[in-house]
Structure 1
Amino acid sequence: MTTLVVCIDRDSPVADECPVVGSDAVESMITETGIVDPEDSRINCLLEGLRVANDLEADGDDTVVAVVGGGGDSVGTDRRIADQTEDLVAEYDPESAVVVVDSAEDERLVPIIESRVRVDAVDRVVVRQARDIESTYYLLKQFLADEELRKTVLVPLGLALLAFPVLLIVADSTTITVGAIAAALGVFLIYKGLGIDTYLSRLPGQIREALYSGQVSLVTYVVAAGLSVVGIFAGALEISSVGSTSPFILANRFLFESVPWLTAAALAASLGRLLDELLQRDGVRSAYVNLPFGAVAVGLVVRGFSAYFLERAGVFGSFHVPSMNFDIVEINGFPMDAGTRLAIFILAGILISLVGVRVAAYVSQSDIEQELAE
């Protein structure tokens, strides 16, 4: 009875030599691999293959030890392993096989072997040292050697431990202390997760480049930032003087006061970007032309909805259209319903956005249907 003892090495550094067949060839492969990287777990996998073959031979079986492998994690690698298995089965005609693996990635290839020859057993090698406390020391040693990981993990943890007793003394409340530290750690995780640190590290270079190249958007971005701060301050000042405790009413009061300023900020930033595109390029993309119109349209719609909710809640009175005299035509003043005013804001927003699409299509010399399709 011939048994094929096959070691799977999906990411083999010597993929061109696979399949490696025979005890002597496998021992030579173990030596070569161990000299290159003594910590490589594939060495234990190959040694386990030799041990399994010796045990089977002691029981009276004829064994063939082989190593199949590829050069990476891809479909082509799996197909190479399948071809190598077929060659081994065709040459040695084994009645069964024992598969030796050292990782979950290699174990996923067992069905490929099983489809070519009967698999009696799968032996997964787990290095004993990985279960001991000694491995923790080496993991910590490698962790501490990585400067980026130290800054990302150890610095926030150290600051949190230092801040805990200080806040506990100042606040005299465990709940407030834990909440403050958790909030600070949450802000840090969001800061790192969204890549804000990377953006801020690039920001000085971008500002320097904008100054040297004379970009108009640099000035308009500063104006937009100032208008945004004014809008947020106006909204916060408005809700601080409101007696209502309803979060929905407070949110709408904030939007009603801050949206005009925020819209002006978005308009300033988009106009600056549009001017840069016009100055630096022969043509301009339609998205930059349409952006100012979109900012104004969104501002009108948000302002209309916030005014509608506030009027329905009784915060504002009904809007009264004043009397107007145009010599030939005279319009008497009348109150305007909240729903009618909301509809006017929505229609104005849609109209402005359509005008933006049409202007963008004209500037970019493209068809209006193409703009709508995009």
Structure 2
Amino acid sequence: MTRTLVLTIDRDNDLGIKAGLRGPVIGRKSTLSAALRLGLADPEESDTNAILGALHHHDRILDSGEPNDAVEVAILTGDERVGARSDRAIAKQLEEVISEFQPDCAILVTDGAEDEAVMPIIQSRVRIDYVEKIIVRQSKGIEGTFYYIMKAIEDPKWRARLLVPLSVFMMIIGLGMILPGGGVLIGAMPLIVGIWLLAKGLGAENQFERLMLDMRDSAMGGIVSSLLWAFASFSSLLAILESYRTIVQADSGLSTVQIAIEAMDSGLQWIILASLAVAMSMVVLRWRRGTLTGRVFQIMAGGAVIYAFAEAGLDVARQITGGVTYELDPGVIYNDWGLAVVAIVVYWMVRTGVKSWSTRQETQGRFWGV
């Protein structure tokens, strides 16, 4: 006897917002009713097709399975603010469904990659044997393509993803054409794209979203953190302007590498101040909420190491590109790299101290905020 659970996920809670239904929705009759209500509320909603796809799998398994097999269908709903909050709601509803039905395996039916993002949550609680993505057949004509582009622009969730990057690139191109020496701005576009792709790859967007939620949940901490974030933004802007001023006013006799070194050196201090402000905002928020960990201090100490090595490296590069022969003399190395070595020692001391204090907290059963 096999007990199969057919699941479909509504991560952004369209079912609750448009049809007024709360998850979980369990059972074929309730699921079919939910699909009809959602379809009537918004005929263009793709979640309706996913729900009907789940019902299709439910009926197919029921018809082709063994007499003793059991099958159930359920809809799990999240929250309109997709993220940690919606995933927690889905996990809670899934546990409720599992407690009621006790499935041996599950089939997941989704309408896109967003709903598939919760697969690790489901797999941690029940075995998934099959995943199907419901894709509605559409016309491939130009009118249909234009229609879907316009619908994406009207959707607040997709509008920011489509229009913001496009507007930023157009603004950079416009400024590059208007400002004297604006070719630097146009040339910076690949750098901006690379930074954005790196942030997406490292999941910085989720970290930033979590930080914004922390700021919202903590009033006093949010005020201080907002000021620190404003200072960080201002420092970042000053770093860009200072580097740009250095490039524009650079001596024509300098090479491109020398100009780049001078530009990075002129903006380095402002970048460090911006990074320090961001780290301090994290300290304020986590201390306010009682979740402050020593990792924040390790990050700050690591930033000091990066700054020391960057400053020393730029100074050495400036000497080498200026035609000065760099001597591997102990005194010269100490003068150039002594601060970097001290920063490494400080980082090791901070890391050791945090680890020791955390171990002490665990053994004594008392939390000191580290």
**TM above 0.5, one fold?**
no
Normalised by the size of structure 1, how large is the TM-score?
0.43
Whose Rg is larger?
1
* TM-score, normalised relative to structure 2: 0.43
